[in-house]
Amino acid sequence: MNGLGRRAFVRNLSFAFAAQAISLLLSALTTLLLPRFLGVEAYGYWQLFLFYASYVGFFHFGLNDGVYLKFGGTPYRDMDKRSIGAQFRFGMAFQSIIALGAALVCLKLTPDGARRFVWIATAVYMLLFNATLYLGYVFQAANETRLYSISVIIDKCFFMAAIAALLLSGARDFQTYVVLYLAAKAVSLGYCLVRGREIVFAPRMRAADAAAESLASIRIGANLMLANIASMLILGIGRFFIDRAWGIEAFARFSLSLQLTSFFLQFISQVSIVLFPALRRLETDRQKEFFGLAGDALGLILPAVLLLYAPARVVLGLWLPRYQESLAGMALLLPICLFDGKMQMLYSTFFKVLRRERALLAVNLASMLLSALLAVIGVHILKNLHFVILSMVASVAFRSLVSEVYLSRLMRRKVGLNAAAEVGLAAGFMLLSWYLPPWHAFFAYGALYAVFLWCGRGRARRVAAALRAAPGPG
């Protein structure tokens, strides 16, 4: 990577981290304030909306992903804006039909007023989110990640201001928060439309040609889109079963545990967005070198996140006394950060860089089916909520380990005992944190982590030497 490319990478990464820092602050506000000021039931419906909203990406059917893969690494000035604009309009047309149909069906079949509101709001959100994501993917493919990051900043700042106003005014109904959440996404979309106006208002193409190009992109992106949906369902299936088996209040408490766990992963996802176009420009040997060094670094650094559990549980226990069960459940969920962190930042990125979307889909589908099978056992046979939670962690770990083995073999790298050591460390954390008082578990896990670092000192030296020789991924 030359000097200009390195500066662009650092600039994009800086904007991505700024966007995620604001997103993290917003997540902290919604996670810490809304459960306290909303009732458990109202907070449950808020989380149910966020849960449904997380799957609206399915309804572009891979169009966004196809454009992303097709144009990844192409400078913005060289992109075929007429084709991209035609596909944008085609995608919004068929998604509008889907949203309208879903809203009409919901009005007829859903008697519960709160759940009906959630479904209709999700249909509206689908249009706003997928349109924003389409243009955001175009920006990312062109290595203009900062534009997408700015749209995220606008979205989150708008909603943060709205939350502050609502809490000061004493608003307690979750519907108002959902409406302003939609408004924030609409403002973000407005920014993307302005910055991508050369695409949005590009010369029109015949409807048949636009449909043909869109279908071609869908064929390219379908595997990646399905892989992403399957990835989300690894945890989503368990959440669905918890809602159905134990009700909206149990769903609310579990969702809080998952929300707290996901804080760190938000940063990881932004790093992967910046890495994809940068890695596409590297030679194969450099890609392999980066894969090995990044895997070593993440394997050593990510377990440190688990040290945050004890202080977080103590502080949050004072702030959210009604959610003690949620905070205890974090002990079982937090190891997701180790395995999903590596998956998001490294493995998923390399599946896309190497154009192995079908392999990524197969891995995610296998993990999703494992999660579903274990969740059914936990709900219908064992009737144990904690088993369902453990099944999610096991499925995420399974996906990470299979991906590591597959990609390492593809790059002719050996898979050593490091993965087994990381699994053992995660299991040790869960046992210590579940059975010991928080601070006792903190020091016990700290000692275990210190032993893990000492055993991995050779990896640490390799990573440090590489950073001194060539900072950044290239």
According to the model, what pLDDT value does residue 134 have?
Answer: 94
According to the model, what pLDDT value does residue 463 have?
Answer: 77
Q: CA–CA separation, 151 vs 191, rounded Å? A: 6
What is the sign of the dihedral through the CA atoms of 395, 400, 404 and 410? Answer: positive
Q: CA–CA separation, 199 vs 63, rounded Å? A: 15
According to the model, what pLDDT value does residue 16 have?
Answer: 64
Q: CA–CA separation, 234 vs 360, rounded Å? A: 14
Give every CB contact of residue 115 below 8 A, 6+ residues apart in sequence. Answer: 45, 48
Answer for the pair 61, 128: CB distance below 8 angstroms, yes or no.
no
According to the model, what pLDDT value does residue 232 have?
Answer: 83
Q: CA–CA separation, 261 vs 467, rounded Å? A: 29
According to the model, what pLDDT value does residue 416 have?
Answer: 66
| Ramachandran region, residue 62 (left: φ > 0; alpha: ψ -120 to 50; beta: rest) | left
Q: Which tokens belong to 211?
A: 């449909």
Q: What is the dihedral of CA 383, 385, 387, 391, to 10 degrees?
A: 120
According to the model, what pLDDT value does residue 445 have?
Answer: 96
pTM exceeds 0.75: no
Q: What is the largest CA-CA distance in the chain?
A: 68
Q: What is the dihedral of CA 431, 435, 436, 442, to 10 degrees?
A: 30
- Position 86: which residue type? A
Answer for the pair 423, 399: CB distance below 8 angstroms, yes or no.
no
Q: Over the chain (474 residues), what is each successive 10-residue block's mean pLDDT? A: 53 65 72 79 88 88 87 82 92 93 83 84 95 92 83 90 86 89 95 92 88 90 83 85 80 78 63 55 71 83 89 85 81 88 84 84 93 92 89 93 90 77 93 93 95 87 72 43
